[in-house]
Chain A
Amino acid sequence: MKMSLTIVQKIWMSLGILIAGYFLTMLLGFIHGFQTETRLSKISNKLLPITIQSKITLLKFKEQIEFYDLAASTGDESLVNAADKCSFEILKSLKNILNFYKLNKEKNYQITQIINDYKKFNIEAKNLYSSMTKTKNGSIKNKNDVSEKSFMIEQKIKKLKKQLDRISSNYSKDLSIEFNAIVKNNNQQRNINLFVFIIVVFACITAVYIIITRSITSPLNNVTSMLKDIAEGEGNLTTRLPVENPDEIGELAKWFNNFLIRLQSIIKQITENAIVLNRSSTLLSEFSGEMIHGMKQLIDHSETASEAIHQLHENINSIASSAEQMSANINNVSNAADHIANNMNKVTSSTEDMSHSINSIGKNIQEGQKISADAMELANIASENMNLLGTAAREIGQVTVAIKRIAVQTNLLALNASIEASTAGEAGRGFSVVAEKIKQFASQSTQSAENISKKIEDMQSKTENAISVIENVTDIIGKINQSSSYITSTVENQMQTSSDISIKLSEVNKGTNTIATSISESALGVQEMSKNTGYAALKTKDFTETIEQMRDLAESSNKSAKKVQSSAVELTELAVQLNKMVNTFII
């Protein structure tokens, strides 16, 4: 349900509902009062006077009767007149009743009958009682007649009395019925009124409550919860209040949303600025760090430079001293050069001796080479012989195999012979002995053949050993031959080199002479150099001073750079804090 009304309008509406309910109950009460009023007016106008008149008629009738009775007893005619007066009044009141009852025909008829009856009675009674009074006063002539008449009148009186009584009682009953109806109706109406009033009050209260909760309290609660979320929670700035109704709360939400948008944009800018600040502060700290680093390097370099200059200074000094030493040494060198020249001469003579002896070595080695070649030939012959021996031994082995086979055959032969001998029985006994002997020979020959073959095998292995030894010997001789040829070639090389050495030595002799002259020239140069080094030492001192000044400046700038770095670090910390604070908002 959407209510496009403001809060004031809503409150007014709820009040209007209350008032309308009140008016409804009032109207009901008013209608009911009007009803009772009409009824009461009816009573007061009609029923009440009728009852009064009826009562009056009854009383007057009784009074008339009494007057008549008194008149009858006393005989006073004035009393009869008084009774007449009463009868007028009764008629008058009866007519009044008739007037009141214009509508009810039945009752009108009754009353007119009563009036007629009464009129008759009244005439009769007047006549009677007037006669009675006359008789009393005069003579009692028609006494029986009178009594008869009085009896009839008494009967009529009773009848009339009854009728009147009935009418008055009827009226009073009507009255009481009417009153009772009024009272009953009144009670009923009061209950209805109460019931309706309660219902209306409840309906109004619920309607007002619904209106208030629906359109006032719940949006207010929404707004408060949202604000609470923003205030207490993570500060989510992306949330917006719902603008549902164009009432005051809607207005509030709209303006609050506008405020949030503004705040969000501001915080976004702040975060961006914080990031930029963070970045630039880190850059600043890096730059300052680099600057410090550079300054340190500068200081280091200046220190090393000053050290180097110190060293340079010292070196220059040492150069000066060493230059002096050099000049002294150069003199020594020239002396030594002379010595070298002398020694060189000796060396040339000894190299000549050496070349002679090398020549003799070469000759001897050539002879050795010849001998080794002879030995090689001999060894080859020996190995060939050995191989021949091996083949011979192998042939012998083949022979022994043949011998073995023959022995086996012989053995078999002996066996068969012994078989033959045994089959011959006693006659072959001698032959069996011969066969046994043959068998023994066969076994002996196999044994000796085996021995021979074993020995041949031995011999063969030994000849093989010998062949291998001879081969080793030939190898060795070949190696000797090789090495002797190598020696001859090296000896030739040596001879060549010794001649080269002698040539070079003569060149060296020349060189030593030139060295001696150049050394004397260099002594002059060294003196010049010592002068220049003294000047250089002075200049280096000046240079060290300027470098120390530079280092002092570098140190002071380093300090300031450190300060910059520390402040940059603080700045980064601040930027980080700012970033954190801003990040607590969700943008």
Chain B
Amino acid sequence: MEEKQFSNIHISHQAEKMRQFCTFRIDRHLFGVDILDVKEIIDEIFITKIHHSQDEILGFINVRGHVHLVLDLRRLLNFEIKEIDEASRIILFTSKVGESFGILVDLIEQMIEVNEKQIEFHKQDENTIMGVDQKRFNMLELGACKLEQGLVIILEAKKFLEVIKNN
């Protein structure tokens, strides 16, 4: 273990390009977003619904006086709908990502630090014909990374609002 850690450090020194991701789960699948995009994780979920809005938009949430838009990641990634429970969390993103908004996830995992070389970036191929859902997933997916706890699919936070707007 120590040797491995050492080698990791060695590699990091070589590449000097380490990235941190905040990981979470949706229906057993492990996803991650860049930690620099994350502003805060909250567990007090009191959502005000917006009528006649898109299905993916759950509503507004008030965090210390600031109002944030909340998206349902399950709907965005075309999973089955699940009720909000104790483990549910909302990840709020920073203002540089876009208008203040957050996403609802099933369960928060820990922070991870990964060398950029370990990430297999996804190649955007727009020529291939695919369905709307797959297209959306394609847009959101930045890449994948294989770790001890499993495969982490890294999503790009900037694209969430874009995807909804496209629709």
Q: How many angstroms between the C-alpha atoms of A412 and B22 in the bound complex? A: 12
Q: When the two chains form their complex, are residues A412 and B41 in contact, meaning their CB atoms are under 8 A apart?
A: yes
Q: Does A271 contact B (CB under 8 A)?
A: no
Q: Does B110 contact A (CB under 8 A)?
A: yes
Q: Please indicate the chain B residues that have their CB under 8 angstroms from the CB of A408 in the complex.
A: 43
Interface string of A407-420 (1 = CB under 8 A from B): 01100100110110
Q: When the two chains form their complex, are residues B41 and A422 in contact, meaning their CB atoms are under 8 A apart?
A: no
Q: Does B155 contact A (CB under 8 A)?
A: no
Measured CB to CB, the closest approach of chain A to B12, in angstroms, equals 14
Number of B residues whose C-beta is below 8 Å from A?
A: 15
Q: When the two chains form their complex, are residues A422 and B108 in contact, meaning their CB atoms are under 8 A apart?
A: no
Interface string of A210-245 (1 = CB under 8 A from B): 000000000000000000000000000000000000
Interface string of B38-56 (1 = CB under 8 A from A): 1111110000000000000
Q: Please indicate the chain B residues that have their CB under 8 angstroms from the CB of A418 in the complex.
A: 111
Q: Does A451 contact B (CB under 8 A)?
A: no
Which residues of B90-108 have CB atoms within 8 Å of chain A's CB atoms?
94, 108
Q: Please indicate the chain A residues that have their CB under 8 angstroms from the CB of B89 in the complex.
A: 412
Q: Does A423 contact B (CB under 8 A)?
A: yes
Measured CB to CB, the closest approach of chain B to A449, in angstroms, equals 15
Q: Does B114 contact A (CB under 8 A)?
A: no
Known contacts A409-B43, A412-B41; decide if A419 and B22 are in contact (CB<8 Å).
yes
Which residues of B25-66 have CB atoms within 8 Å of chain A's CB atoms?
35-36, 38-43
Q: When the two chains form their complex, are residues B41 and A415 in contact, meaning their CB atoms are under 8 A apart?
A: yes
Nearest residue in A to B34 (C-beta to C-beta)? A422
Q: How many angstroms between the C-alpha atoms of A415 and B41 in the bound complex? A: 8
Q: Does B20 contact A (CB under 8 A)?
A: yes
Q: How many angstroms between the C-alpha atoms of A490 and B89 in the bound complex? A: 76
Q: Please indicate the chain A residues that have their CB under 8 angstroms from the CB of B40 in the complex.
A: 416, 419
Known contacts A415-B108, A415-B111; decide if A422 and B36 are in contact (CB<8 Å).
yes
Q: Please indicate the chain B residues that have their CB under 8 angstroms from the CB of A423 in the complex.
A: 35-36, 94
Q: When the two chains form their complex, are residues A422 and B111 in contact, meaning their CB atoms are under 8 A apart?
A: yes
Measured CB to CB, the closest approach of chain B to A184, in angstroms, equals 141
Q: Please indicate the chain A residues that have their CB under 8 angstroms from the CB of B41 in the complex.
A: 412, 415-416, 419
Measured CB to CB, the closest approach of chain B to A542, in angstroms, equals 116
Q: How many angstroms between the C-alpha atoms of A416 and B41 in the bound complex? A: 6
Q: Please indicate the chain A residues that have their CB under 8 angstroms from the CB of B43 in the complex.
A: 408-409, 412
Contact of A422 among B35, B42, B110 (CB under 8 A): B35
A to B contact number (C-beta, < 8 Å): 30
Q: How many angstroms between the C-alpha atoms of A401 and B41 in the bound complex? A: 22
Number of A residues whose C-beta is below 8 Å from B?
A: 10
Nearest residue in A to B36 (C-beta to C-beta)? A423
Q: When the two chains form their complex, are residues A419 and B35 in contact, meaning their CB atoms are under 8 A apart?
A: yes
Measured CB to CB, the closest approach of chain B to A430, in angstroms, equals 16
Which residues of A404-446 have CB atoms within 8 Å of chain B's CB atoms?
408-409, 412, 415-416, 418-419, 422-423, 439
Q: How many angstroms between the C-alpha atoms of A415 and B108 in the bound complex? A: 9
Measured CB to CB, the closest approach of chain B to A473, in angstroms, equals 43
Q: How many angstroms between the C-alpha atoms of A322 and B11 in the bound complex? A: 130
Q: How many angstroms between the C-alpha atoms of A416 and B43 in the bound complex? A: 11
Nearest residue in B to A436 (C-beta to C-beta)? B111
Nearest residue in A to B39 (C-beta to C-beta)? A419
Q: How many angstroms between the C-alpha atoms of A416 and B111 in the bound complex? A: 10
Nearest residue in A to B87 (C-beta to C-beta)? A408
Which residues of A427-472 have CB atoms within 8 Å of chain B's CB atoms?
439
Measured CB to CB, the closest approach of chain A to B111, in angstroms, equals 5
Q: How many angstroms between the C-alpha atoms of A439 and B108 in the bound complex? A: 13
Q: How many angstroms between the C-alpha atoms of A439 and B109 in the bound complex? A: 12
Q: Please indicate the chain A residues that have their CB under 8 angstroms from the CB of B35 in the complex.
A: 419, 422-423
Measured CB to CB, the closest approach of chain A to B82, in angstroms, equals 19
Q: When the two chains form their complex, are residues B108 and A419 in contact, meaning their CB atoms are under 8 A apart?
A: no
Nearest residue in B to A415 (C-beta to C-beta)? B41
Measured CB to CB, the closest approach of chain B to A15, in angstroms, equals 133
Q: Which of A409, A412, A419, A423 has the most CB of B within 10 A?
A: A419
Measured CB to CB, the closest approach of chain A to B43, in angstroms, equals 6
Nearest residue in A to B91 (C-beta to C-beta)? A419
Nearest residue in A to B113 (C-beta to C-beta)? A422
Q: How many angstroms between the C-alpha atoms of A88 and B99 in the bound complex? A: 206
Q: Please indicate the chain B residues that have their CB under 8 angstroms from the CB of A415 in the complex.
A: 22, 41, 108, 110-111
Q: How many angstroms between the C-alpha atoms of A419 and B89 in the bound complex? A: 15
Q: How many angstroms between the C-alpha atoms of A416 and B40 in the bound complex? A: 6
Contact of B38 among A409, A412, A419, A439 (CB under 8 A): A419
Which residues of A158-179 have CB atoms within 8 Å of chain B's CB atoms?
none
Nearest residue in B to A409 (C-beta to C-beta)? B43
Q: Please indicate the chain A residues that have their CB under 8 angstroms from the CB of B42 in the complex.
A: 412
Measured CB to CB, the closest approach of chain B to A186, in angstroms, equals 143
Q: How many angstroms between the C-alpha atoms of A422 and B40 in the bound complex? A: 12
Nearest residue in B to A435 (C-beta to C-beta)? B111
Q: Please indicate the chain B residues that have their CB under 8 angstroms from the CB of A409 in the complex.
A: 43
Q: Please indicate the chain A residues that have their CB under 8 angstroms from the CB of B110 in the complex.
A: 415, 439
Which residues of B115-165 have CB atoms within 8 Å of chain A's CB atoms?
none
Which residues of A463-502 have CB atoms within 8 Å of chain B's CB atoms?
none
Q: How many angstroms between the C-alpha atoms of A416 and B38 in the bound complex? A: 9
Interface string of A317-361 (1 = CB under 8 A from B): 000000000000000000000000000000000000000000000
Q: When the two chains form their complex, are residues A412 and B108 in contact, meaning their CB atoms are under 8 A apart?
A: yes
Q: Please indicate the chain A residues that have their CB under 8 angstroms from the CB of B36 in the complex.
A: 422-423
Q: How many angstroms between the C-alpha atoms of A270 and B73 in the bound complex? A: 119
Measured CB to CB, the closest approach of chain B to A362, in angstroms, equals 68
Q: How many angstroms between the C-alpha atoms of A412 and B89 in the bound complex? A: 10
Q: How many angstroms between the C-alpha atoms of A368 and B82 in the bound complex? A: 67
Provide a sorted-by-A list of 30 A–B residue pairs whose CB atoms are within 8 angstroms. A408-B43, A409-B43, A412-B41, A412-B42, A412-B43, A412-B89, A412-B108, A415-B22, A415-B41, A415-B108, A415-B110, A415-B111, A416-B40, A416-B41, A418-B111, A419-B22, A419-B35, A419-B38, A419-B39, A419-B40, A419-B41, A419-B111, A422-B20, A422-B35, A422-B36, A422-B111, A423-B35, A423-B36, A423-B94, A439-B110
A416-B41, A419-B41, A423-B94 known, 4 other contacts, Cβ within 8 Å: A409-B43, A412-B108, A415-B111, A419-B111
The 4 closest A-B pairs by CB, nearest first: A422-B35, A419-B38, A422-B20, A418-B111
Please list the residues of chain B having a beta carbon within 8 angstroms of any beta carbon in chain A.
20, 22, 35-36, 38-43, 89, 94, 108, 110-111
Please list the residues of chain A having a beta carbon within 8 angstroms of any beta carbon in chain B.
408-409, 412, 415-416, 418-419, 422-423, 439
